[in-house]
Amino acid sequence: MYIDKYISVAPMMDWTDRHCRYFMRILNPDIRLFTEMIVVDALMHGDHRKFLNYDQSEHPVVLQLGGNDPEKMKKAATIGAKAGFDEININVGCPSDRVKSGSFGACLMEKPKLIGNCIQSIKSAIDSPVSVKTRIGIDDFDNYEFLQNFVGIVSESGCTTFIIHARKAILTGLSPKKNLSVPPLNYDRVYQLKSEFDRLNIILNGGLNSIEDCLKHLKSLDGIMIGRHAYRNPWFLKEIYNMMLNNQNLEMSRQDVVKRMYPYIESQLSKGVKLNHITRHMLGLFSSQPRAKLWRSYISEHSKKEKAGIEVLENAFKKMAVSV
C-alpha cells in the first residue's frame, strides 16, 4: 500500500555513515537511505572514496550535498552520479554555525534563486533526480508566505521533491542539537504547502516516532522522513517495512539482524576498521527490550578494545542469556 511512497531515513551528521546504512538496510530492504551531508569542496578536493564509499546493498541511497556555488555543485553531483548514487539532495535545512559560516544549509532559504541555479546546473549535467531538504522557515522569516515563495521559485528550476522539516531553524543563539526539538512542529504549514503545490512531492520530516504518526501523514503527503527515532530505536525500521508491505511481517528477530551483520563486520575488520566504528550504530537495537541496558553497556565497553571482533557480540548475547 505504501511501497510507492517516498519513505526515508534522514541524513544525520556523525550517524548515517556507510556502516550505519548497511545495518539499516538489513532492517528495512526498501527504505531510502541518505549519506551524511558532504560539503562540495571536501568532495572535490579530497579523496572521493572517503566520502562516497558504500555497499551495493544500500540502494536506494541518496547523496546529500552542502554548497551554494552552481558550478561546484554540478561537479560534485556529477561525481556522485558516476559513483552510482540514486539521487542528489541539496541541504537547505542544517542550522549549525559551521554551515551558516559557509553560506549553505538553512540560511540559503533566503536565496531561493541561487538554489534554483544550483539545481539547473546539476540537472544540465546528470539525469539523476535532484531533491531539496529544507525547513518551514528561519529566524524571523516564520510564516507560510516565506516557505511558499521559496518552494515556488526553487520548483521553477525543475525540482519536484521537497523534504520539509516541520520546524523553523533558529540560526542565532540556538545550538544545532536544540534546533531539532526546541522550535515547535508546524505540520499544518506542510499540509498547506501540499495543498497549493499538489504537483510536487512533499515529504514530511520531524517528530515521527510511531507507526500511527507515519500512517496519519502518509494519507495526505507524498512521503515521510524519519530521523533520530530510527537511529535510537532501529527496530522501528523493521516496523516501517511491515507497514510499507501492508502489514506483511518480515520474519526476522533482533538476533537475526545481528547475525546478518557478521559477514560485513568481518570484512570490515579485515580492512582495518575498528569494531566500535560499526557496533556504535547497533546499540539501540534492543531498545525497550529486557536487558537492553546490558546489551548497550557490554558492546560499548568491549567493542573499543584492541582486536575486538565478533566474539564481543556473541558474548553480549550470552550475558543477556539470549540464544542465537
212 and 168, same structural domain?
A: yes
pLDDT (average), residues 220-232: 97
Does position 250 have pLDDT exceeding 90, yes or no? no
Q: Which of 181, 215, 244 is the last residue of a domain?
A: 244
pLDDT at res. 248:
62
pLDDT (average), residues 2-31: 94
**In the chain, how long is the greatest CA-to-CA distance?**
59
Q: How far does the chain reach from its first CA to its final CA, in angstroms?
A: 33
pLDDT at res. 253:
93
Does position 249 have pLDDT exceeding 70, yes or no? no
3-state secondary structure 109-120: HHCHHHHHHHHH
295 and 202, same structural domain?
A: no
The chain-wide mean pLDDT, for the chain, equals 93
Residue at 146 is within a domain:
yes
Closest CA to 206 of 166, 236, 240: 166
Dihedral in degrees, nearest 10, Cα atoms 267, 272, 276, 281: -50
pLDDT at res. 324:
43
Q: Which of 244, 269, 297 is the last residue of a domain?
A: 244
121 and 54, same structural domain?
A: yes
What is the C-alpha separation between 248 and 242, in angstroms, rounded? 5
Does position 175 have pLDDT exceeding 70, yes or no? yes
266 and 130, same structural domain?
A: no
Does position 247 have pLDDT exceeding 90, yes or no? no
pLDDT at res. 47:
79
- Return the C-alpha cell found at 220: 495526505
Q: Which of 218, 244, 270 is the last residue of a domain?
A: 244
- Sign of the Cα torsion 72, 76, 81, 87 reads negative
Residue at 1 is within a domain:
no
pTM of the model as a whole: 0.94
CB 240 within 8 A of CB 3: no
Residue at 20 is within a domain:
yes
CATH for 121: 3.20.20.70
Residue at 95 is within a domain:
yes
178 and 138, same structural domain?
A: yes
Residue at 281 is within a domain:
yes
270 and 234, same structural domain?
A: no
Residue at 314 is within a domain:
yes
What is the C-alpha separation between 279 and 19, in angstroms, rounded? 9
pLDDT (average), residues 80-94: 97
pLDDT digits (tens, 9 = 90+) for 279-304: 999 999 999 999 999 999 999 999 99
289 and 223, same structural domain?
A: no
Does position 198 have pLDDT exceeding 70, yes or no? yes
Write out the residue range of the structural domain in which residue 101 sits.
6-244
Q: What angle do CA 72, 19, 210 make, to 5 degrees?
A: 95
140 and 18, same structural domain?
A: yes
Give the DSSP H/E element, type plus range, for residue 203: strand 201-205
Helices 235-244 and 18-27 sit at what angle, rounded to 10 degrees?
50
pLDDT (average), residues 15-26: 98
306 and 180, same structural domain?
A: no
pLDDT digits (tens, 9 = 90+) for 33-60: 999 999 999 998 877 878 899 999 999 9
Cβ burial of 275 (10 Å; 0-12, 13-18, 19+) is buried
Q: How many structural domains are present in the chain? A: 2
Helices 235-244 and 211-218 sit at what angle, rounded to 10 degrees?
40
CATH for 298: 1.20.120.1460
Judge whether 20 counts as a catalytic residue.
Answer: no
SS3 164: strand
276 and 220, same structural domain?
A: no
Place 251 in a pLDDT band, splitting at 50, 70 and 90: confident
Residue at 35 is within a domain:
yes
204 and 282, same structural domain?
A: no
Q: Which residue has the cell 533526480?
A: 129
Does position 322 have pLDDT exceeding 60, yes or no? no
90 and 123, same structural domain?
A: yes
Q: Could you give the C-alpha distances from 253 to 211, 239, 244, 260, 310, in angstroms and in order?
A: 19, 12, 18, 11, 18
Among 94, 107, 118, 159, the active-site one is 94
Residue at 277 is within a domain:
yes
